[in-house]
Structure 1
């Protein structure tokens, strides 16, 4: 899957399901601060990612996510690993 499609799908569910202001989403924006998610929201996020991309992110994956660019890259890498 192309990165542009990953970004479009991810931004769509972040805006629609997690009520993130689309204007606040940018590659270098701080992911966790922008989303303001609590621990239960992260569970929902994992489920939404899995249903949209067919990959599952674990706790260790989220430790490495600082910006939205990191988030997209993590999904992109998981998809690449899945297709090997």
Structure 2
């Protein structure tokens, strides 16, 4: 997966799963402050990322993630290791 494909998947999932309006989703959008993603939502997102990538992202690694772009970078790194 490319970074664009990862971003598009994440954006689509945020709209469908968390009912976030598409215009609020940008690479710089902060998950907790801008998109109101809470820790339970973050765990749900990690589970879905595992289903897509086939690899498990450690919850500790996700703690440093602040923006959608951070998620993209973390997933991209996970896929390409």
TM-score relative to the length of structure 2: 0.84
The answer to whether residue 45 in structure 2 is matched with residue 45 in structure 1 is: yes
Deviation of residue 25 (structure 1)? 1.0
Counterpart position of 2:16: 16
Counterpart position of 2:75: 75
1:26 and 1:75 map into 2 onto residues whose CA distance is 17
Query: Number of paired residues?
Result: 81
Deviation of residue 24 (structure 1)? 0.8
Stretches of structure 2 that go unaligned for 5 or more consecutive residues are none
Counterpart position of 1:65: 65
2:55 and 2:33 map into 1 onto residues whose CA distance is 24
Pick which of 49-58 and 64-73 moved more: 49-58
Stretches of structure 1 that go unaligned for 5 or more consecutive residues are none
Are the equivalent residues in 1 in contact too, given 2:46–2:57 (CA < 8 A)? yes
Query: When you count helix as a share of all residues, which structure comes out higher?
Result: 1
TM-score relative to the length of structure 1: 0.81
Q: CA RMSD in A?
A: 1.5
